[in-house]
Amino acid sequence: MPQESFWHKAFRLYYDGFRQMTLGRTLWLVIGVKLFVIFAILKVFFFPNFLKQNAGKGHEAEFVAGELVKRKAEAPPLRPELEDHSPFPSGPGVHERE
């Protein structure tokens, strides 16, 4: 009798295994339903890619930069010891400019 190849043995392992499942059938049914709900319902209808929808391809950095800059907190009145970390006399530093 010719010896079975590795691939044939591997195929038989999965084939026979799936065929003889008992509890496994229930579990695969649960997995199938779960994957359907996750990928075909939740992903499609409830979880769009926000950046893809709002920024457009190639403009994500610009969009995120805009979001992060516009959410900056307002500055309270400055205390003297915090007055300037800027390399310019009137350039960027702790003197916030809107």
Query: Which residues of the chain form contacts with another protein (CB under 8 A)?
Result: 9, 12-14, 16-18, 20, 22-24, 26-28, 30-31, 34-35, 37-38, 42-43, 46-51, 54, 60-61, 64-65, 67-69, 71-75, 78-79, 82, 85-88, 91-94, 96-97
Quick check: 95 and 87 in contact, CB under 8 A? Answer: no
Alpha helix (H) residue ranges in the chain: 6-19, 23-35, 50-54, 60-70
Residue environment code for 24-58, b if the CB has 16+ CB neighbours within 10 A, otherwise e: eeeeeeeeeeeeeeeeeeeeeeeeeeeeeeebeee
**Closest separation between CB of residue 80 and another protein, Å?**
12
Cβ closer to another protein: 18 or 56? Answer: 18
Comparing CB distances to another protein, the nearer of 2 and 50 is 50
Q: What is the nearest approach in angstroms of another protein to the Cβ of residue 1?
A: 17
- Burial (Cβ within 10 Å: 0-12, 13-18, ≥19) of residue 16: exposed
> Residue 67 CB, nearest distance to another protein (Å)?
5
State the nearest-atom distance from the C-beta of 29 to another protein, in Å.
10
